[in-house]
Structure 1
Amino acid sequence: MSYILKTNNLTKVFHGKEVISQVNMHVKKGEIYGFIGPNGAGKTTTMKMMTNLIKPTSGEIEIFGEKLTNTSYKILKRIGTMIEYPIFYEKLTAVENLEIHCEYLGYHDKTAIKRALDLVGLKNITNKPVKNLSLGMKQRLGIARAIMTKPELLILDEPINGLDPTGIKELRDLFKMLCKEYGITLLVSSHILGEIEQIVDTIGVINNGKLIEEISLENINGQHTEFIEVTVDDCKKAAFILENKLHISNFKVINNSIIRVYDSSAAQTEIIKAFILNDISIESINKTTSTLEDYFLKLINGGGIHV
C-alpha cells in the first residue's frame, strides 16, 4: 500500500494535558481522506503538526516516505495547506497576495495565479483589496493559494466554512477534479458530514484527541442498513408499544419525537395500525437508509438512546 502521509503514535501535550493521543493515520496516495470529529476533537491540532506549524510532543509524521523534521523545507514545498481561517494582507488585492506567496515559495509560473482564481470561482476581483471580500470569497482565496503551486498533497481544514450551497457544490466538484485529473491527494476536515460523504474515499474519525476509526467509505456503505423512521407525539409510549405489543426490540429513540426501527421484518402498516389504536399521533413515517452521519454518531455517542 502506497501512503503519501502517515503518523506513528502522534501525540501532543499542552500545559500538561494530552490533547492528541497516539494517533496513527494512513492517507493513501491519490485519494480524498475525510478527517471528521466533534469541535475540539483535535483535527486542527493534528493538521498543524502535519504542516510544521506546531511540533509534536512525541511520535512521528511521515510524508512522501520521509520523516517530517524542523528542516523539511523540500517536503513542505510539495504541500498546499489552509489551516483554520486564511490570513492575508488585508490592504492588498487578491492577486497581490498570491504574487507574494509565489515569490517566497520561488514559484514563477506567471499563469498560476489566474488559473487558481478561475478554478475557485473568483473573477473580476483584480482591484479589490482583500478587506472588502466576503468571508466566502476569502475562503475561496485561501484555497486558491493552497492549490496555486500544483501541490502533490493538499491539507484543508474546514474549507467550505462560510460558503453558500452553490459555493459548497462548486468546491466539492473542484476537489474531486483535483484528485481525479491532477492526481492530487487531499486531506480534508469538515463538520458537514453530508458534504464529506459525497467526495471522500476514506474517513478518519477523531474524538477527544484519539483516532477511533479509520475506514473506507465503501466499507461504511456496505454496513448501511434500511430502517423505518417515525415521528410521533409520545416517544416513550411508542417505544413501549413497539417492544410489548409488536415485540420489536431493535429500535432507537433519537430524540423526544423520532424513533428508528431497524428490524427488517417490521412492516410500516403494522406500526401505523398499532400506534393509531393506542392513541399515538404519527406526524411522519419513512423508510430510509443510514448515512455517514448515523455512522459517525454511533461511533461518538451511540447515535441515540434505547428505552
Structure 2
Amino acid sequence: METVIAIENLSKRYKDVQAVEALTLELKKGEIYGFIGLNGSGKTTTIRMMLGMIKPTEGSCSLFGRKVALKNTKMWERVGYLVETPYAYPELTVEENLRLFQRLRQIKDPEAVGRIIDQLKLTSYARRKAKHLSLGNAQRLGIAKAMLHQPDILILDEPVNGLDPAGIVEVRRLLRNLASNKGVSIFLSSHLLSEVALIADKIGIIHQGRLVEEFRTDELNSLIERKLLVGTRDNKAAAEVLLAQGVTCHLNAKGLIEIEEKELLERPDRVSEKLVETGFPPTYINVEVESLESYFMRSIQGEGEG
C-alpha cells in the first residue's frame, strides 16, 4: 500500500524547549492515523511542520513521496487541513466564506460549496455570519474548508473540538467514509484516546515531544489491563486459601481480592467454584477493564511523569 505521509527523525527546538524530538511515523493511503497527546505535548508543532508552516530543526516530512518544502507547492492541491482554531472571515456568512475559499483554491465545480454544506450539516447556517456561529459550527466550517477541494490527505488538529455528541458521531462517520470509500488518508490529533479509538486504524501517543507508543487499533484490546475483583465475607482468609491453591492474588486498596491471571480472567467461574468449595462463597465478583483514558495516562506516566 502506498505511503502518503512519511515523517523521519523530525525534531523542533525553540531555544531551551524541545517541542518535538526524533519523531518517526508513516501513514498509508486510505488509513486514519490518530495522534494522541496532552496539551503542549507537541501535536500541533508536528502538524505545523508537516504543513511547512514552520521549519524543523532536524529530520524531514514527505507527502506523496515528496519532501515538504516551499518549492514543492503543487502537493498542496491534494492536501486539506485544519490547524488549531478554525479560521473564518467573521463578517462573511458560512456560504460566503466557502465561496471565497473556492476561488482561492480555484475549484471549478459549481456544486462544490453546496455539497460540502450538506455534508457538514451546515445548511441551516449557510446565511449566518461566521462571527455568530457556535464553537461547534465554527469547527464544522473549518472542516468544510479543509474538505472543499476533495483532497487526498486531510490533516486535522482536534477536529471534533466543540462539537456536541451527535456532531462528533457525524464527523466520525464522514471521515471513516472518506478513508474507506474514497481512499483519503487522514491524520488527526486529539487528547481523547477513547474518541480516536473509534475511528483510527493506527494510533501514536506523543508525550513531551516524543512518540512513546504506537499501535494498530485492533491491538488495543490486548494492551488494556484487566483484573478480576472478588469479595467474600472474609477476604483475607479467602485470599490465603486461593494462594495455597496456586492462584496468584492480593488484597487491593479497597480490601477486595485482586487476580490478574489471564486464564482466570477468562473463566471467573473457576475462582467462584474454588471459593464455594472451601467455604468462602463470593459476595462480589467482577472483571474490571481499564478505561482507554487510564491506559493513555499509564502510557505517558511510564515515560517518567506522573
Give TM-score scaled by structure 1 length: 0.82
SS in 2 for 1:13: strand
Distance 1:301 1:286, change over 3 A: same
Match of 2:189 in 1: 189
Quote the residue 2:8 is aligned against.
8
**1:109-128 matched pairs, under 5 angstroms:** 109-128=109-128
Give the Cα–Cα distance (whole angstroms) in 2 for the partners of residues 91 and 138 of structure 1: 13
In structure 2, how many angstroms separate the alpha carbons of the residues matched to 1:184 and 1:229? 44
Q: Deviations along 1:121-165, whole A, 9 cap, x unmatched?
A: 111223210111110000111111111100000001111111111
**Corresponding residue number in structure 1 for 2:201:** 201
* Counterpart position of 2:214: 214
Report if aligned partners of 2:113, 2:148 keep a CA contact under 8 Å in 1. yes
Distance of aligned partners of 1:182 and 1:292 in 2 relative to their CA distance in 1, 3 Å threshold? same
**Amino acid aligned to 1:39:** N
2:239/2:257 contact within 8 Å kept: no
The one-character-per-residue Cα deviations of 1:90-149 (angstroms, maximum 9, x if unpaired) are: 010011111111212222221111111111111122321011111000011111111110
Structure 1 residues 184 and 58: alpha-carbon distance in aligned structure 2, compared to 1, 3 A threshold: same
Q: Please tell me whether the aligned partners of residues 172 and 195 of structure 1 are also in contact (alpha carbons under 8 angstroms).
A: no
User: Could you tell me which residue of structure 2 aligns to residue 235 of structure 1?
Assistant: none
The verdict on how the C-alpha distance between 1:209 and 1:242 changes in structure 2, with shifts beyond 3 A counting, is farther
Shift of 1:37: 1.4
CA distance in 2, matches of 1:140, 1:196: 18
Question: d(CA) in 2 for partners of 1:185 and 1:251?
Answer: 47
Aligned to 1:299: 299
Whether the 8 Å contact between 2:242 and 2:249 is mirrored in structure 1 is: no
109-118 or 286-295, which deviates more: 286-295
Corresponding letter in the other structure for 1:216: R
CA distance 1:123–1:20, shift in 2 (3 Å): same
**Amino acid corresponding to residue 125 of structure 1 in structure 2:** Y
Structure 2 CA distance for partners of 1:270 and 1:142, relative to 1, 3 Å:
same
Structure 2, unmatched stretches of 5+, are none
Alpha-carbon RMSD: 3.2
CA distance in 2, matches of 1:166, 1:219: 27
Query: For residues 257 and 41 of structure 1, what CA distance do their matches in structure 2 show?
Result: 37
Match of 2:62 in 1: 62
Q: Match of 2:89?
A: 89
The aligned counterpart of 2:80 is 80
State the identity %: 36
Q: 1:250 to 1:224 in 2, by over 3 A?
A: farther
Q: Structure 2 length as normaliser, TM-score?
A: 0.83
Q: Which residue of 1 aligns with 2:46?
A: 46
Is residue 22 of structure 2 the alignment partner of residue 22 of structure 1?
yes
Larger Rg: 2
- Kindly provide the CA deviation profile for residues 261-302 of structure 1, in whole angstroms up to 9, marking residues without a partner as x: 42343648759x89xx99xxx9x8632545543442332125
Distance of 1:287 and 1:222 partners within structure 2: 15
Contact 1:242 1:249 in 2 (8 A): no
CA–CA distance in 2 between the matches of 1:73 and 1:245?
71
Task: Indicate which of 239, 259, 262 corresponds to 2:260.
Answer: 262
Q: Report the number of matched residues.
A: 289
Structure 1: gaps of 5 or more residues: 233-237
1:176-217, Cα deviation, whole Å (9 max, x unpaired): 111112211111111222221111111111111001222211
* Aligned residue in 2 for 1:151: 151
Shift of 1:245: 6.7
Range with bigger deviation, 293-302 or 8-17: 293-302
* 1:71 CA drift (Å): 2.2
